[in-house]
A and B are shown apart, each in its own frame.
Chain A
Amino acid sequence: MTEASVIETSAPAEGVTETLNREAVERAAAQEPTWLAERRAHAWDVYERTPLPSTKLEEWRYTDVRRLLDLDALTPAPRPEAGTGEALLEGLDGLPAGLRAVMAEDREAAGHVAIVDGCVRHVDLSDELARQGIVLTSLARAVQLHPELLEEHLATHAVPPEEGKFQALNAALWADGVFLYVPAGASLDLPVRVSRWLSGGGLAVFSRTLIVAEAGARVSFVDEIVSDDLDAQSLESSVVEVIARDGAQVQYVSLQRLGHRAFYQAAQRTLAGRDATLDTLNVSLGASVARVDLNARLLGPGANSDMLGLYFGDGDQHFDHNTSQDHEAPNAHSDLLYKGALDGHAHAVFRGIIRVHEGAQGTDAYQTNRNLILSEHARADSLPNLEIEADDVRCSHGATVGQLDQETLFYLMSRGIPQQPAERLVVMGFLGEVLSRLPLGGVVDKVTRAIEVKLRHG
C-alpha cells in the first residue's frame, strides 16, 4: 500500500464507535507485556480495515449483521480489578443469583470457572489435578504465569484476527477468559465446567477460551452461558481455541441459554493432531441472534472429530451455524450432525462445508443437517457443501427440512396421549438423537429441561 492510500483511509472505519475504539484497545493493553499489547494493536488494525460483514458475503448471506446489531449502542463491560481471580469457592456468594443457580447443578466437576460479563470471578481445581500439572486459570492470570504458552497459541494459529471482523474485534478487546492446559498423558475423569453470566443490556463482552491438550491427554470441557432477558441489546463475543496434540482426547461442549435481546457471536476452532479425537457439541437455545462459526481442522493422520449441534428456536430467534470440516491429512474422520426445531417466527441457518484437501486420501467425512418446522412462520435454510480434491474418500452429506412425523404423532395420540404432549415427545425424540451421541453427565438433563421449558411456552 502506498503512503497516499494510507492517508486516504482517514474516514472512520466501520464499527469504530464512541467506546469501541483504539483508546479502548490501549486501555486493555495498559498493564500487559509488549507482545500482547502489540498483538492487540495489530488485531485492531485488522478490525478497522475489515468491513462489517454484509449479506453479499456468502458466509453471511442469511444473517444481516448491519440490521441485527447496533454497535454504537454498546459499551465494553468493565475490566476485572487485579486479583479478583483469586477468590475462593466461599466467594461464590458474591455472584449473581442466576449464575449461582446454574452452578448449583454442576457440583460434579474436575474444576469450575465462574465468569461475569467476560471476567473471571472464581476458579477452582482439585489439588490432585493441579499436582498432575493441569492448569485451569483466568486468561488474565495466564498472561503472567504462562506467557510462553499464550504467546504461542493465543489468537495465532487457531483463530487469528484475520479470520474476520468479529474475530479481530475480540482479539483486540478481550477482557478475560479461560486457559486450560493439560500436560502430556494427564487425564481428567470429570469435566471442567465454565459458567458465564451476562448481567445486562448495552454491554459488549469479549472473552476467549484457550484449551491445550498435550499428547495423550484427556479432558472434557463444558462451557455454559446464561442470562436473563435483557432490557437492551448486548453483544457476547466468544472465541474458543482448542488444540489437541497427537493422541489427545478432548470434548468441548457449549450450552448457550442467553436471554432475549442478546446477540451471541462465537468463533470456535479445533485443531486435531495425529490420532487425536476432538469432539464438539454446540447447543443453541437462547439469545435473539446467535451466530456460531465452528471450524474443525484435522491436521494429523488418523484424527477424528465428531461435531454435534442442537438448536431450538422460537419467538423471533435467529440462529446461524456456520461449520467447516477441513481434512488436511490422510485417513482422518469427521462426522457432523446438526439438528434443530423451529417454532414461532424463528429462522435457522445451517451452512456447512467439508473440504478434503489435496492429498487427504482415505478421508471419511460426513455431514447431516435436519430441521423440524413447527409453525407457519418459521424458516430454515440449509447449505451443506462439499469440496473434494482427493479421490480415495468416503464423503456424504444430507439435509432435510420437514414437519413433525405425523405417523408417530398419530400413534402416540391413539395411545391416549393428548396432542400437545405428544408433539413435545416427538420433538424431544428428534433432538434427543444428538444428545445421545455425547452423553456427558449432567449436560443431557440440563438441555432436556431447557428444551421442555421452551416447548411448554411455545
Chain B
Amino acid sequence: MPQNEVIEGLGLDEYKYGFVDEEQHVFRTRPGLDEEIVRQISAQKEEPEWMLEFRLKALKIYESKPMPTWGGDLSELEDTLDQIYFYVRPSERMGTSWDEVPENIKRTYERLGIPEAEQKVLAGLGAQYESEMVYHSLKEEWEAQGVIFDSIEDGLRKHPELFRKYFATVVPPGDNKFAALNSAVWSGGSFVYIPPGVELDTPLQAYFRVNQERMGQFERTLIIADENSRAHYIEGCTAPVYSTESFHSGVIEIVVLPGAHFRYTTIQNWSNNMYNLVTQRALVHRGAAMEWLDGNLGSKLTMKYPSCYLVGEGAHGSILSIAYAGDGQHQDTGGKVVHAAPNTSSTIVSKSISKGHGRSSYRGLCKVYEGAVNSRSNVECDALLINETSRTDTYPYIEIEEKRASVGHEATVSKVGDEQLFYLMSRGMSEEEAMALIVRGFIEPIAKELPLEYAVELNKLIELEMEGSVG
C-alpha cells in the first residue's frame, strides 16, 4: 500500500480516566509535551534505559508526522494538545465529589439501574471495591495456571524479557502519529500473558483489575496468547464513562501465537467531549484466530479500526463492529484485515446507527498479498439512519494481489421503515418503543456475541438513546 497512513488507525481503547481533582495528584507534568516531560514520565516510573530511549525516539516521530487529514475533523485537536497534561499520576483515592458529576450522566446511571458504588467507579470517583473478592478468587485461579494479568507498568517491571520481546512489535511507533504519541507518553493499561494450552472460561475483565495506577488517556495494552491457548478479554463497559479529559489515545497490541484463539471485546462509551483515537492491532500466527468485538457509543470523535494481520498459514481474523452516532458525534470506525499467508480467512461485520446530526463512517481495508493463496474475506456493512439530518459514509479499501483469493464487500443503507413502525404500533407499542425494538433488532447480531450483562446494558442504553428520536 503506497500510503499506509491513510488507513492506519486500528485501535481500541476505552478506559475510564478518573475524574480527578487536580490539586490532589501526587505528581503531574506541566501542560504540553517536550523531551523533558517524556524524561519525567520515564523517571517517575523508574523505567529501564531502553524504554526511555524508545519513548524519546517515538516523540521525534510524533513531532515529524503531520496531523491526519482524513477521517474525522481534527482541526481543533492541535490546540487541545498544547494544553493537556501528558502525565498525571493519580493518587490512590479519587478526590472528586459526586456532586460534580453532570446530571445527565447520573440520570443515565440511575435509569440503567447501576448500583451506586459502580456509578462512582464509572464517574472516576473510586475503585471497584465491591468486586475485589470476586476478582481475587479469579486471580488466584489464573495465577495457578501461569496466567499473567497485570498493569502494563508491572508487566515491564516483573517480566522484562517477555515484555521486551513483544512490546511495539505489533504497532511500531512509526505506524501513525497517534501511535507515536502513545509510544512517547504511555501510561496505564494491561499486560496479559496466557501460557501455552491454557483455556480460560471466565473473561479477563480490565474492569476488575485493581491497579495502583489507574488507566489513563495514553493507555497501552500488550497481550500475548501463547500456543493453543484460548481466552477472552473485556475492556470498558456500556454505561457512559464520564471524564474531564478531552483526548484519549491508546495502543493495544495482541500477539496470537500458533493455534491460539483470542477474543478482545471493547465497548466504548466516553462522554461526548472526547477525541478518542486508538490503534489496536493483532498479529495472528499459524492456525490461530483473533476476534475483535468493538462497540463505539460515546465520544465526540472516535477513529478506531481494529486490525488483524494474518501472518501464519490458516490464520483467521474476525471483526464485529457496532457504532452509534448521536447528535454532534462522529464515529469513524471499521476494521482492517491483511492477508499475508496462504489459506487465511477473515470477516468484517459492521453495523452503524446515526441519529439526529450524528455521523457514522465505516472505513476499512482488506488486503491480500501475492502468495496468500486461497485467502477468503467477506465484509458486510449495514447503516441505519434515524433522522433526515443523520449521515453515514462507507469507505472500504480492497487491494488484491493474489489470483487464488476471494474477496467480497457489501454495504446497505436504510432508514427505519414506516411499515415496520406501523406494524409494531398496531400491536400496541408506542412509536418510541417500536423504534427502540427495531434498532435492537438491527444490532442483535452483535449484541448476542456480548456477555449477557453487557448485552442487557447495551439494550437498555439503546432504549434510552431512542427516546425523543421520533415525532
Contact = CB atoms under 8 A, between A and B. Distances in A.
Given A382-B409, A391-B388, A403-B406, A371 B400 contact: yes
A396 B402 contact: no
B3 interface: yes
Nearest to B371: A376
A377 interface: yes
A373 interface: yes
B401 A399 contact: no
Nearest to B418: A392
Contacts of B393: 385-388
A392 B408 CA distance: 26
B391 A400 contact: no
Interface in A327-380: 358, 361, 371, 373-380
Interface stretch (B83-91, B196-204, B307-315, B379-387): B379-387
Interface stretch (A55-63, A119-127, A280-288, A412-420): A55-63
B338 to A, nearest CB: 14
B416 to A, nearest CB: 9
Contacts of A390: 385, 388
B329 to A, nearest CB: 15
Contacts of A388: 383, 385, 391-393, 413
B77 interface: no
A391 B390 contact: yes
A386 B392 contact: yes
Residue among B2, B385, B411 with most chain A CB within 10 A: B411
A401 B405 contact: yes
B21 interface: no
Interface in B163-216: none
Contact of A375 (B399, B403, B409, B412): B403
Interface in B404-424: 404-415
A392 B393 CA distance: 15
Contacts of A383: 395-398
B150 to A, nearest CB: 42
B408 A400 contact: yes
The interface centre, meaning the residue of B3, B385, B394, B414 with most chain A CB atoms within 10 A of its CB, is B394
Interface string A275-314: 0000000000000000000000000000000000000000
A375 B404 CA distance: 9
Nearest to B409: A399
B154 interface: no
Interface residues on B, range: 35 or more
Contacts of A56: 3
B409 A391 contact: no
Interface in A166-224: none
Contacts of A379: 370, 399-401
A385 B3 contact: no
Contacts of A55: 2-3
Contacts of B397: 381, 383
B3 A61 contact: yes
Contacts, number: 118
Nearest to B379: A399
Contacts of A378: 403
A389 interface: yes
Contacts of B392: 386, 388
- Most chain A CB within 10 A, of B391, B397, B398, B415, is at B398
B411 A402 contact: no
B70 interface: yes
A398 interface: yes
Nearest to A56: B3
Interface in B340-354: none
B138 interface: no
A401 B392 CA distance: 25
Contact of B396 (A384, A389, A403): A384
A376 B368 CA distance: 13
A391 B386 contact: yes
- B interface, over-half SS: strand
Contact of B394 (A374, A380, A386): A386
B403 A374 contact: yes
B402 A373 contact: yes
Contacts of B70: 58
A371 B408 CA distance: 10
B6 interface: yes
A20 interface: no
B387 A391 contact: yes
Interface in B64-107: 70
Interface string B356-373: 000000000000101000
Nearest to B378: A400
Nearest to B410: A398
Contacts of B405: 373, 401-403
Contacts of A391: 385-390, 415
A373 B2 contact: no
A394 B412 CA distance: 8
Given A373-B400, A379-B401, A402 B407 contact: yes
A56 B4 CA distance: 10
Nearest to B361: A387
Interface in B149-165: none
Nearest to A394: B414
A388 B400 CA distance: 27
Contacts of B401: 379
Interface in A57-92: 58, 61-62, 64
A78 B126 CA distance: 81
B185 to A, nearest CB: 28
A393 B415 contact: yes
Given A379-B401, A381-B399, A386-B392, A401 B413 contact: no
Given A383-B398, A391-B387, A62 B407 contact: no
A395 interface: yes
Given A58-B70, A381-B399, A398 B387 contact: no
B297 to A, nearest CB: 20
Contacts of B403: 373-376, 378, 403
Contact of A385 (B387, B395, B412): B395
Nearest to B397: A383
Nearest to A377: B370
Given A377-B370, A381-B397, A392 B2 contact: no
Contacts of A374: 403
Nearest to A382: B398
A401 B410 contact: no
A399 B383 CA distance: 17
A397 interface: yes
B3 A380 contact: no
Contacts of A387: 391, 393
Contact of B404 (A62, A392, A397, A403): A403
Contact of A398 (B404, B409, B413): B409
A400 to B, nearest CB: 5
A453 B395 CA distance: 36
A390 B392 CA distance: 9
Nearest to B414: A394
Nearest to B385: A391
B406 A386 contact: no
B409 A384 contact: yes
Interface in A3-20: none
A401 B391 contact: no
Contact of A62 (B2, B387, B388, B400): B2
A374 B406 CA distance: 12
Closest 3 CB pairs of A and B: A391-B385, A386-B394, A401-B400
Interface of B: 2-3, 6, 70, 368, 370, 383, 385-415
17 contacts: A55-B3, A373-B403, A373-B405, A378-B403, A381-B399, A382-B396, A382-B400, A383-B395, A385-B396, A386-B394, A386-B411, A387-B391, A391-B388, A391-B415, A396-B410, A401-B405, A403-B406
Given A391-B385, A399-B398, 14 more contacts: A379-B399, A379-B401, A381-B400, A382-B400, A393-B415, A395-B412, A397-B410, A399-B396, A399-B407, A400-B408, A401-B398, A403-B404, A403-B405, A403-B406
